[in-house]
Amino acid sequence: MEIEALRLRGPSTHRFGRLMGRGVVEPAYPLPTLDVSGPPMSLARNAEIYAEGDPADHLYKIASGMVRTCKFLVDGRRQIGGFYLPGDIFGLEPESEYTFSAEAVTEVEVIAVKRAVASSTQLLALMSRELQSTQNHLLLLAKTAPERVASFLLEMAERIQSAHEVELGMSRQDIADYLGLTIETVSRTLTQLENESTIALPTSKRVVLRNRATLKRLNS
Amino acid sequence: MEIEALRLRGPSTHRFGRLMGRGVVEPAYPLPTLDVSGPPMSLARNAEIYAEGDPADHLYKIASGMVRTCKFLVDGRRQIGGFYLPGDIFGLEPESEYTFSAEAVTEVEVIAVKRAVASSTQLLALMSRELQSTQNHLLLLAKTAPERVASFLLEMAERIQSAHEVELGMSRQDIADYLGLTIETVSRTLTQLENESTIALPTSKRVVLRNRATLKRLNS
DNA sequence: CGCCAGGTTGAAGAGAATCAAGTGATGTGG
DNA sequence: CCACATCACTTGATTCTCTTCAACCTGGCG
């Protein structure tokens, strides 16, 4: 199977670097193609794809659905490292063992690739994108709760390539553990954004972006 | 000039992944050697080495002193991405422009290397380490103030290879902006650790680790 | 000796967490 | 098709941590 354009996270991860009014920047490490063999694996909601500490010998490309990577701290707190959407590749880690586990957020189809078949150039491109989104995630955690939620909504909208509406596949708990907040704070913040007419919430997982300018301003 | 072992951040960045009681793990991307040409550059305290947005065409290896990378948010808040010590390499970024700026914390001597002279394999190894420390930094920001400070002290001690005493080159403001706290909170937390006899502070920048077990427990 | 930046300490306040009680969706079995 | 159980989400009241604002030390250095 030929994957024409490997993509690890969406283009949204460029956002933070672009706030100073500069133009679009070419990626330093353009993504090559990569041969992928094997049939797609289907996984049910919440199924574990790999665990923290497993040998990190495979990469995974998402055909459909959503995946989260996460890590549990000793006191039981959970930190989500990222969400991965169709077309994204996850499983490239800086060690020979996975440092985060990966789980299906929704029903998911993934294609596994042996890491060994990827070239250094390909791995570099993937890791570069992973670093970029981790840096953005880190900057996100320096913000206030409304700013985090606004950034999250804009990131998701951009990755889905949707200007007006976002279908969140993940639960409030997932969002909270990604943003470093509690579910109550996430819920309250969303409600407040709705009351200000910045967003609408036709259902709890469907978000209509009614005022992107306000969200972007919050994004700081 | 031949650099025998490129090192981007110290080995401490493995710590978070090692909490589950597993043994030491070999890095997935062992570091090769890299020829470095040109004389060391000397820089005064607070000198800027490169700015956010500059073309990211050079890597820098520290011969002496300490460097910080940082980014300013639109509201003036500053986030420090990391501190770099002698032997560390910084300046490898996921884009073709620097996403963080780099500044001398102390007087510093650095050796510049054109990024183009490094192979994909070498860049991969460097980026892998950068990703690892960014992931650890991210996990750190999910913790409470005492936990962040304890983690910071242990990280510094490990990177300096010092079991008992750490000479912090950076100011309270630098520490605060790295940990996502205010200087007052950093100061108060250090004072409290001193009152509990977990550390001693012979001077404001010199920290004696009197009770590593307590620090590690805080490190969670 | 006194200035000044960096650091510490105190008191008050804001923001998010926690604890607790609802409300609303989803799914299952009768 | 409906009653009910369950789970996710929302909302409210309170607590607590960290920030903010302010005053005060302390240690280098002219």
pLDDT band of residue B148 (cuts 50, 70, 90) is very high
Q: What share of chain B is helix, strand, coil (3-state, %, to 5)?
A: 35, 30, 40
CB A142 within 8 A of CB A105: no
Q: Buried (b) or exposed (e) across B169-200, using 16+ Cβ within 10 A?
A: bbebebbbbbbbbeeebbbebbeebeeeebbe
Residue, of A186 and A32, whose pLDDT is higher: A186
CB A85 within 8 A of CB A117: no
User: Touching check for A16 and chain B: CB below 8 Å?
Assistant: yes
The pLDDT, as a whole number, for residue B163 is: 82
Query: In chain A, whose CA is at the least distance from the CA of B15?
Result: A99
The distance of B139 to chain A (nearest Cα, Å) reads 7
Residue, of A145 and A220, whose pLDDT is higher: A145
CB B128 within 8 A of CB A126: no
Domains, chain A, in order of start with CATH, read: 5-140 (2.60.120.10), 145-219 (1.10.10.10)
Residue from B127, B133, B144, B151 whose CB has the most chain A CBs within 10 Å, to mutate? B127
Task: Reply yes or no on whether the pLDDT at A214 is more than 80.
Answer: yes
Say how far residue A46 (Cα) sits from the centre of its chain. 16
Task: Name B42's bridge partners.
Answer: B109
Residue appearing with tokens 């990604």 = A178
The pLDDT, as a whole number, for residue B179 is: 98
Which residues in chain B have their CB less than 8 angstroms from residue A142's CB? 73, 77, 79, 141, 180
The pLDDT, as a whole number, for residue A17 is: 28
CB B92 within 8 A of CB B123: yes
Task: Reply yes or no on whether the pLDDT at A84 is more than 80.
Answer: yes
Q: Say which range, A22-31, B51-60, B71-80, has the weakest mean pLDDT.
A: A22-31
User: Touching check for A44 and chain B: CB below 8 Å?
Assistant: no
The distance of B44 to chain A (nearest Cα, Å) reads 27
User: Touching check for A55 and chain B: CB below 8 Å?
Assistant: no
Query: In chain A, whose CA is at the least distance from the CA of B115?
Result: A28
Give dist(CA B86, CA B61) in Å, integer: 8
The pLDDT, as a whole number, for residue B33 is: 52
pLDDT in tens, A168-201: 999 999 999 999 999 999 999 999 999 999 999 9
CB B84 within 8 A of CB B90: yes
pLDDT band of residue A74 (cuts 50, 70, 90) is confident
The pLDDT, as a whole number, for residue A30 is: 58
The pLDDT, as a whole number, for residue A162 is: 87
The pLDDT, as a whole number, for residue B218 is: 84
Q: Which helix (H) or strand (E) holds B189?
A: helix B183-195
pLDDT in tens, B6-46: 333 333 322 222 223 333 444 556 554 555 666 899 999 99
Angle of helix A145-160 versus helix A172-179 axis, rounded to 10: 110
pLDDT band of residue A37 (cuts 50, 70, 90) is low
CB A94 within 8 A of CB A131: no
Residue appearing with tokens 């992973």 = A130
Say which of A77, A97, A143 has its CB closest to residue B25: A97
Mean pLDDT across B178-197:
98
pLDDT band of residue B147 (cuts 50, 70, 90) is very high
Q: Mean pLDDT across chain A, nearest whole number? A: 86
Calculate Rg over the CA atoms of chain B.
Answer: 17
pLDDT in tens, A98-110: 999 999 999 999 9
Angle of helix B172-179 versus helix B183-195 axis, rounded to 10: 100
Angle (CA) A43-A32-B60 rounded to 5° is 110
Mean pLDDT across B157-168:
92
Which residues contact residue A158 at a Cβ distance below 8 angstroms, ignoring those fewer than 6 apart? A10, A11, A12, A15
* Distance from CA(A16) to C1'(C25), angstroms, rounded: 36
* Distance from CA(B189) to C1'(C1), angstroms, rounded: 34
Angle of helix B172-179 versus helix B145-160 axis, rounded to 10: 110
The distance of B98 to chain A (nearest Cα, Å) reads 9
Give dist(CA B135, CA B147) in Å, integer: 16
Task: Reply yes or no on whether the pLDDT at B82 is more than 70.
Answer: yes
Instruction: Give percent of chain B with pLDDT exceeding 70.
Output: 82
pLDDT in tens, A92-143: 998 899 999 999 999 999 999 999 999 999 999 999 999 999 999 999 999 9
pLDDT band of residue A219 (cuts 50, 70, 90) is confident
The pLDDT, as a whole number, for residue B187 is: 98
**The one-letter amino acid at B111:** I
Q: Say which range, A31-45, A150-164, B79-93, has the weakest mean pLDDT.
A: A31-45
Query: In chain B, whose CA is at the least distance from the CA of A142?
Result: B180
Q: What is the pTM of this model?
A: 0.86
Sign of the CA dihedral with B172 first, then B178, B184, and B188 last: negative
The pLDDT, as a whole number, for residue B162 is: 86
Q: What is the full DSSP assignment across A139-200? A: HHTTS-HHHHHHHHHHHHHHHHT-SSEEE--S-HHHHHHHHTS-HHHHHHHHHHHHHTTSEE
pLDDT in tens, A54-65: 999 999 999 999
Residue appearing with tokens 């490190």 = B219
Mean pLDDT across B45-74:
96
Q: Say which range, A2-11, B163-172, B207-216, has the weakest mean pLDDT.
A: A2-11
The pLDDT, as a whole number, for residue B4 is: 33
